[in-house]
Amino acid sequence: MDGTLRNFLKESALELGAARGALGDGHWRYGVDDDGIGWLVLNCEGSSANTISDPVLRELDAHLQTVEADTPRALVVRSAKPSGFAMGADIDTLADMDAAAAEQLLTEAHRIIDRLEGLSCPTIAVVHGAALGAGFELALACDYRIAIDGASFGLPEVRLGLHPGLGGTVRLPELIEPTSAMQMMLTGSTAHTAKARALGIADLTIEERHLHAAIQGVLDGKVEKGSRGLMARAFALSSARALAAARMRQTAQSKAPQDHYPAPHALIANWEKHGDDPEAMRKAEIASFAELLQSQTSRNLIRAFFLRRKLKQSATRDHGITDVHVIGAGVMGAEIAIWIAMQGKRVTVSDPDDDALGAMIRQATKICDGAHKTALETRDTLDRLMPDPQGHGIARADLVIEAGPEKPELKASILADIGKRMKTGAILASNTSSLRLADFIENVPAKTRFAGLHFFNPVSKVPLVEVVSQEKTGKETRERLLAFCTAIDRLPVAVTDAPGFLVNRALMPYLLEALLLIDEGIPKERIDKAALNFGMPMGPVTLADQVGLDICLDVAESLAKSLKTPIAAIPSLLRDKVEAGNLGRKSGRGFYSWENGTPQPDSNATIDETMTDRLILPMLNACAECVRTQVVGSADEADAAMIFATGFAPFRGGPLHYGRTRGHQIVHQRLQELEKAHGPRFKPDPYWRDDLQA
């Protein structure tokens, strides 16, 4: 953290009471400095991040009354949390509200935010870190927004099946070009510092040490407020909005079908109808938000939000891991090392191929850029990421991660060598995706400190990590690894050393069934379309190409040898593709040609329910088996893992939640019908008959 920012946060949190007229013992503190500037500082009690809850807004209302009674030269609104400005609304409160209660809450919240907007003195939101959702909407009510380097702004409510509800649908299109505002709200995308300035969200972007000068510049009239320009004025015409809305609907329907995701379509309708009438737009926003909150989509997406939070909170102890060594700088090893270094850990990486180590450093720069890291943050990441061809870092590492090729003999040799060189108390983890840890237990000296850390590709995009315990893994080791994953901003799920663990065990029947359908003569585009219609982010044939057909074959063969329950036979066409070197995206050709980018499924394909069930129900059945046999601790954890590792239709709440919604008896009956028609791979797991939910 910047030293100047640290000093301000200390002053705002602990010493603002010394300011003239300082008030506040709750979530807000207010005081007026010697220059006559009021400082209203948000520091939500008992939380590492600010959220905009009903108590927070009611306290804000009380402070605004004080400001109105003795108006300062200007009012500065900012956060005392190092984590950022504010992360959005209090989802816990919203989750159980009926429509009437939600409308009442939002109406009162609008009144308070409008009161901030209506102050007679200039109001300045100073944003460091993230201003998201209701936090951004609070900043939008201020006259000016000053972004500290690294700040970001976003309205991600669409990810919860909602749209902004505290005036964001009105104020953002009034502040910046309306179609850009709509794009942010429809996609939930984030505008980082430079983009926020370019769009007109931020009036200034500065370093923290220049804050007081920037505020003085605002007061002296040296900072010009942004103007939306001619394009924005054009959208005051209903005909212009109608044309733009038609294009937005077409895009939204292709990416977020209205039957699955109603919120974007509700937002477009509101803007098209009321975009020239702020007061009508506010009323429509409140009513629409309250209605969407009752939808099954929103309830399931909020469920996914809670599942994510639960995984983050699963680690309760100090992990004690500051130095990490990664064996292997291939695709997975490099990404694992880069991600860990980005999160502040020292990482050494060994690989016999010097070129691979060099490519890793180049890849690190690209990943940092994609994550909107500043030049200083990128430099610090590269300083922490150290090529180590001889593996000297093994001796001082608290955690060593083996990420070599999925070849049993090679892994056994690597693990045996690492074990001899590690310091006492260090943890050894393998990133294997298809091999059993039990097969290597004799190759490691400290068996209680040997486990699996199964990251998913690409590590920087897929947040889940399976923390795999073999029979002799110690409880302390498992807990330290869970805590470590949380510390590097990944979502850990604890699983046991079963074939395929959880995610690959559940995903492989889905992929194999798709290939069997191809073998039966069904076009691959039609198969992918069936999965997309269900809500999967990618069709199974496209996914197989993305993963790599060689990897799919390895995992399928491993499961076929290890599982006691039957899975689909490995189609000969998969072996033929691999033997021909057509491995999918990485080779340019697999089932699809990738020369012109990601292939598109046939949008006109006719889909029947049987095809969808043949793809989806084997995945549900595998998850059910994993819960019943305690490969994973609960149905909630299984749902979370599948959502955050595979993108399983989040608006359905996870595979087992979808099974509960559809009905266990119906799922059981449907699997029986498929078993009769297609064979024992569809045999229903006892979970469905006995309703064995964890």
DSSP-derived secondary structure for 252-275:
HHHHS-TTT-HHHHHHHHHHHHHT
CA dihedral 275, 277, 283, 285 (to 10 degrees): 20
Domain boundaries of the chain, sorted by first residue: 3-300, 323-496, 503-690
Helix axes 572-579, 549-562, angle to 10 degrees: 130
SS3 assignment, position 687: helix
Q: What is the DSSP-derived secondary structure letter of residue 584?
A: B
Q: What would the pLDDT profile of 464-475 be if each residue is shown by its tens digit?
A: 999 999 999 999
- Token reading at 337: 């090392």
Per-residue b or e along 48-75, where b marks 16 or more CB atoms closer than 10 Å to that residue's CB = ebbbbbeebbebbbebbebbeeeebebb
Contact 428, 414 (CB under 8 A): no
Confidence at residue 21, expressed as pLDDT on a 0 to 100 scale? 45
Averages of pLDDT over runs of 10 residues in the chain (694 residues) are 52 42 74 94 91 95 96 96 91 91 96 97 96 96 95 96 96 92 95 93 94 94 72 75 93 91 96 93 97 96 95 82 95 96 96 94 94 90 95 96 92 92 95 91 93 94 96 95 95 95 95 94 92 93 92 88 84 92 91 85 74 96 96 97 96 97 96 96 91 45
The pLDDT of residue 13: 40
φ/ψ of 524, rounded to 5, equals -60, -35
Chain centroid to CA 14: 33
The CATH classification number of 503-690 equals 1.10.1040.50
Structure tokens at 297: 């989509």
Report the C-alpha gap between 499 and 503 in whole angstroms.
10
pLDDT on residue 17: 38
C-beta separation of 359 from 337 below 8 A: no
| CATH ID of 323-496, from 3.40.30.10, 3.40.50.720, 3.40.50.10440, 3.40.1380.10 | 3.40.50.720
* Cβ neighbours, 10 Å, residue 642: 27
- Say yes or no: domain 3-300 is CATH 3.90.226.10: yes
Helix axes 609-628, 503-519, angle to 10 degrees: 150
CA dist 51 → 69, 426, 576 (Å): 27, 38, 54
Asked if 175 and 151 count as a contact pair (C-beta separation under 8 A), the reply is no
**What's the pLDDT score for residue 690?**
63
d(Cα 469, Cα 466) in Å, to the nearest integer?
10
Residues 635 and 526 sit within 8 Å (Cβ to Cβ): no
Q: What is the pTM of this model?
A: 0.90
Contact 511, 543 (CB under 8 A): yes
Q: Are the C-beta atoms of residues 682 and 671 closer than 8 Å to each other? A: yes
Three-state DSSP class for residue 306: helix
Those residues whose C-beta lies under 8 Å from the C-beta of residue 321, and which sit 6 or more positions away, are 345, 398, 399, 427, 480, 484, 487
Q: What is the predicted pLDDT for the residue at 227?
A: 61
User: Which pLDDT belongs to residue 325?
Assistant: 98
Host H or E run for residue 132: strand 130-132
Q: Number of H helices and number of E strands within the chain?
A: 29, 19
Check: CB of residue 383 under 8 Å from CB of residue 375: no
Which pLDDT score, from 0 to 100, does residue 8 have?
A: 55
Q: What is the pLDDT of residue 48?
A: 86
Q: Which run of H or E residues covers position 643?
A: helix 635-646
DSSP classification of residue 14: I
pLDDT at site 24: 56
How many degrees, rounded to 5, is the angle at CA 44 between CA 42 and CA 50?
Answer: 75
Catalytic site positions: 433, 454, 466, 504
Element (H, E) at 175: helix 168-175
CA dist 390 and 36 (Å) reads 62
> HSE of 354 in the Cβ direction (CA atoms, 13 Å)?
1
Angle between helices 655-662 and 635-646 (to 10 degrees): 120
